[in-house]
Amino acid sequence: MNTKGQKKIRIAVQKSGRLNEDSMRMLKECGIELSNGMNKLKSSALNFPLEILFLRDDDIPEYVAQGVADIGIVGENVLVESKASVNVIERLGYGKCRLSIAIPKGRRYSGVKSLQGKRIATTYTNVLQEFLRKQKVKAEIHEISGSVEIAPGIGLADAICDIVSSGSTLFMNGLEEVETVMKSEAVLIGNDNLSPGQTEIIERLLFRIRASRKAKQNKYVLLNAPNDQLKKICKLIPGMRSPTILPLVEPGWSSVHSVIEEERFWEIIEKLRDAGAQGILVVPIEKMVI
Ligand code: PRT
Ligand code: ZN
């Protein structure tokens, strides 16, 4: 399908499943309002040149490659398995999981060579094949489409290669993770034949996605500091450019405002307290444009 010159982009999103909710939340955080419910096959944005196609995740890479959709959101595991010719535009930071090989608990395992000649059940035959080739291991790959974790228990395979996130599915099926084949998260993919008009719309969307993600990774912090400690405190919270310092009515004290990274939150708060900061307030940030 030729989408060149269009002043609108079509994004493919998983219709239902693990990536649907987070993907729709991300679009909402980008200020995108939809014209109808999500039970339809497609939906148009009311305030952005965007149309959403709701599809099964396995179909998304190929539909984007063919230009049925211009961009799409899919797990990297599905993308790599599909071998579709698309570009990864942005890693989105949700839907994190790993594709791992697991064997029945207690079975002897002394490295990847232990898989030589074994039967491995998986939905991800391409990814597994490539992994085994790189490891120079020859094993029998059994393609099954669902409930991979029960394959060893019913004698269908010696090992499995499947998606793991918390590990509880493996645990409940008496399996033990022995190799990580790939790590995965949701990615925004794009057709490699987009018009300048479409690229511009995607850039606008990306700007919003990044601002929302950045906001989540940071917190706004306000605190009171004795003036003789200001230098030390400002060093701990340098912020986007530099912190804001406002004098308090009480002599010898100032209010300091800045931004800190969520990841280093506790470490920084402890150091701020040690440096004499008081009345520390930490506030979520809605959007962050640098
Ligand atoms: O219907 P459709 O084909 O669109 O969806 P699907 O059923 O094929 O996929 P879905 O919705 O299960 O997953 C979509 C994507 O979410 C995957 O391709 C991954 O990129 C990502 N993802 C993140 C996961 C998981 N976490 C996950 N835990 N996909 C699947 N699982 C399953 C896994 O297959 C196993 O059965 O959850 C189980 C393991 O989870 P834990 O927490 O017990 O380890
Ligand atoms: Zn699927």
Distance 250 CA to ligand 1 centre (A): 56
23-37, 53-67, 176-190, 272-286: the lowest-pLDDT one: 23-37
Q: What is the mean pLDDT of the chain?
A: 95
User: Is residue 175 lining ligand 1, measured as CB closer than 6 Å?
Assistant: no
Residues 157 and 79 in one domain: no
pLDDT at res. 37: 61
Look up the pTM and report it: 0.91
Best residue among 13, 14, 15, 18 to mutate for probing ligand 1, ranked by most atoms within 8 Å of CB: 18
Distance 215 CA to ligand 1 centre (A): 27
User: Is residue 43 lining ligand 1, measured as CB closer than 6 Å?
Assistant: no
What is the number of domains present in the chain?
Answer: 3
User: Is residue 58 lining ligand 1, measured as CB closer than 6 Å?
Assistant: yes
- Does residue 4 lie in a domain region? no
Q: Report yes or no: 99 and 182 within 8 Å, Cβ to Cβ.
A: yes
- Note the pLDDT tens digit of each residue in 176-226: 999 999 999 999 999 999 999 999 999 999 999 999 999 999 999 999 999
Q: Report yes or no: 162 and 123 within 8 Å, Cβ to Cβ.
A: yes
User: Is residue 168 lining ligand 1, measured as CB closer than 6 Å?
Assistant: yes
Residues 85 and 116 in one domain: no
- Does residue 289 lie in a domain region? no
Please state whether beta strands 119-122 and 140-143 pair in parallel, antiparallel, or not at all (unpaired): parallel
- Does residue 2 lie in a domain region? no
Range of 119's domain? 97-184
What token pair was written down for 183? 């790590």
| DSSP H helical ranges for 173-262 | 196-216, 230-236
pLDDT at 128 over 60: yes
| DSSP H helical ranges for 95-159 | 125-135
178 Cβ contact list (under 8 Å, min separation 6): 100, 101, 102, 103, 109, 114, 159
Q: Report yes or no: 268 and 236 within 8 Å, Cβ to Cβ.
A: yes
171 Cβ contact list (under 8 Å, min separation 6): none
